[in-house]
Amino acid sequence: MTVVRDAVKAALKAQTIETPSWGYGNSGTRFKVFAQPGVPRTPWEKLDDAAKVHEFTGVAPKVSLHIPWDRVDDYAALAACAKERGLELGAINSNTFQDDAYRLGSVCHPDAKVRRKAVDHLRECVDIMDATGSTDLKLWFADGTNYPGQDDIVGRQDRLAESLAEVYERLGDDQRILLEYKFFEPAFYTTDVPDWGTSYAHCLRLGPKAQVVVDTGHHAPGTNIEFIVAFLLREGKLGGFDFNSRFYADDDLMVGSADPFQLFRIMHEVTKNGGLDPASKVAFMLDQCHNIEAKIPAVIRSVMNVQEATAKALLVDLDALTAAQRDGDVLTANAVLMDAYDTDVRPLLREVREEQGLTPDPVAAYAASGWQERIATDRVGGEQAGWGA
């Protein structure tokens, strides 16, 4: 049992969770963005906040950027700044949804000039990756239609494939495309990449440097996300996660808050099928908005929620599970899984943190650090970061 416990601890120490730069900025609902004191005004200040999350959790060394929200003149300098803070720049997220030109879509737009603009932006994102050392280009397209007959479904797929191929060509040897899907919104009739199957088919055609990213909030209610995860891992096509949780639509709430059991089931498939092995290159990213809650503690809480689900998944007795499955013992197989889920892993994680020289309680340590008060005092004037370019 000690051997198992040591292996679980080692895996938890090795896991990294990437936090999103936009999670530190102001965000909101369709109705109102609530500004909070101390919110970063620049990408540099976002890195300062991300560094705090890493300081107290020890497992969040990477930060995803979003272009143009994180546009700077010198990306190499931003990467150097990250490094000074013990961080690395992670996935570059493109934006082909906030320009007037994209009313009818971006890479699937019927007008070649608009598609050109979108593809040029995506290629510019790869230039930025070259400067920052980022390996992942995360693509989410708002493309779709609102009305039957508005555009040709197959024609849009053809344009998507052509656009993606041009971006794929631009990738360096160590770079990859992570193609995200979302079943609806902002388009309400058809979405051009609505589900994992569409993303998978395009990635398969593109080649080994294209993989699917699973945003946990981008599914219809009742979708079995862990099945998708297991399938993609088996095919070597799971690039990573955008973690968040949802009650209704794409709610972008803290991962593990709405349905911790679902997160455990997902992490069970990940741990069981090699997805925690760094060689698998599965990226554990957060994609969340903290609209009414304090942002930095919410990111810390989210990182801890992923760790807790991972710890429980690692505690599943796979030998007993396999034996029960082989014997067709339905109840025992289910009980083995539930035993792990019902384990309180918080003491184990406190131990892990102490062994890493970290504080056992990151939320309390952050609250006591004075950082929140300091940024509220220091970050006055200027424009707080948000969804605007």
Q: Give the CA angle between residues 238, 243, 247 to the nearest 5°.
A: 125
Residues 6+ apart with CB under 8 A from 233: 269, 270, 273, 274, 275, 280, 282
Question: Which one of the spans 65-73, 99-107, 279-287, 349-357 is the region binding Mn ion (CB under 5 A)?
Answer: 279-287
Question: Which one of the spans 17-25, 236-244, 326-334, 341-349 is the region binding Mn ion (CB under 5 A)?
Answer: 236-244
- State in angstroms the smallest separation of the CB of 215 from Mn ion: 4
6 vs 185, beta carbon nearer Mn ion: 185
- State in angstroms the smallest separation of the CB of 170 from Mn ion: 22
* 136 touching Mn ion, by CB under 5 A: no
β-sheet bridge partners, residue 62: 88
Sign of CA dihedral 142, 147, 149, 150: negative
Distance (Å, rounded) from C-alpha 153 to C-alpha 156? Answer: 5
48 vs 143, beta carbon nearer Mn ion: 143
* Other residues' Cβ atoms within 10 Å of the Cβ of residue 87: 21
55 vs 180, beta carbon nearer Mn ion: 180
* 250 touching Mn ion, by CB under 5 A: no
Among 242, 250, 252, 269, binds Mn ion (CB under 5 A): 242
DSSP single-letter state for residue 28? B
64 vs 135, beta carbon nearer Mn ion: 64
181 vs 371, beta carbon nearer Mn ion: 181
Nearest position to Mn ion, beta carbon: 242
Q: Which of 272, 244, 276 is nearest to 258 (CA)?
A: 244
* 287 touching Mn ion, by CB under 5 A: yes
Structure-token pair, residue 168: 């794929």
Under rule CB under 5 A, which residues in 203-222 are in contact with Mn ion? Answer: 215
Distance (Å, rounded) from C-alpha 95 to C-alpha 245? Answer: 22
- State in angstroms the smallest separation of the CB of 54 from Mn ion: 21
* Other residues' Cβ atoms within 10 Å of the Cβ of residue 112: 10
Question: Which one of the spans 36-44, 282-290, 317-325, 360-368 is the region binding Mn ion (CB under 5 A)?
Answer: 282-290
Question: H or E segment at 286?
Answer: strand 283-286
Contacting positions for Mn ion (CB under 5 A):
215, 242, 287
